[in-house]
Amino acid sequence: MTALLSSWFTRHECARIYPFAGFILLLAAEPWLAAALSWLGLGAEPAYLLRSVCALWLLLYFRRDYFELRVTPTFNQAMAALLAGWLVFLLWIAPYPAWLGGHGASPVVAMPMQTHADIFWLICRWSGSALVVPVIEELFWRSYVMRRLDNADFMSVAPAVVTAYAIAVSSVLFAVEHQLWLAGLLAGLVYAWLYRQFQVLWVSILAHVTTNAVLGLWVVYGGHWQYW
């Protein structure tokens, strides 16, 4: 299977596809994972940790292939990323109607916080969302998909010359990944603009980290579990 996939994708493509794909495939398999964990006498909590560990392992495996991560942001770029991350957070929690992807009357499932084990799984969930997901998603959606839409040789595409078409289409596809699709679309546009404007992927990643980290804290301390 690995050889077959390698014949379809280049090494550079695999490095940006596999961590994201592994995370999504394990997400799709969560009902079966939960059933298996239940059979072992465990709750469903380890499923998210498994997804994060899988993605993190693949990131480490391909670490030498992420040339775009070798460029670090300046102080001003980091500040712009933090502000953008907060902006996306505010866009995310805006009261959208159901037809725009709002939660409506969807059931809210709170994570328990009674025992040390509960706190451990909560920290795992927050850490995966805030630290792992932003890296795999920005490598996939912005570094790969957005540039690939402009040129099959995506590594040759400088972020500064990415077209509006590539930004729009990649942001729409990014939105489809999320229940709050309008918020996802706006977030995708912001992260894409950051990459095009500053040409440093860490700026988009830092903005994404800020959004997810603040959102996670807001969920836990405010009881807004529907956003998780």
User: What would the mean pLDDT of 183-205 be, rounded to a whole number?
Assistant: 98
User: What would the mean pLDDT of 20-31 be, rounded to a whole number?
Assistant: 92
Q: How many other CB atoms sit within 10 Å of the CB of residue 25?
A: 11
Classify 141 as helix, strand or coil: helix
Question: At 72, phi and psi to the nearest 5?
Answer: -100, 155
User: What would the mean pLDDT of 167-175 be, rounded to a whole number?
Assistant: 98
Q: What pLDDT was estimated at residue 117?
A: 82
- pLDDT tens digits along 36-52: 777 776 766 788 899 99
Q: What is the residue-averaged pLDDT of the chain?
A: 91
Helices (H), the chain: 2-8, 11-28, 30-39, 46-61, 75-92, 116-127, 133-137, 147-148, 164-176, 181-198, 201-222
Q: What pLDDT was estimated at residue 103?
A: 61
Q: What pLDDT was estimated at residue 1?
A: 47
- pLDDT tens digits along 56-76: 999 999 999 999 999 999 999
Residues 6+ away with beta carbon under 8 Å from 109: 225
- pLDDT tens digits along 77-117: 999 999 999 999 999 999 888 777 666 445 556 666 678 88
User: What would the mean pLDDT of 187-207 be, rounded to a whole number?
Assistant: 99
pTM of the model: 0.91
Of 33 and 106, the one with more pLDDT: 33
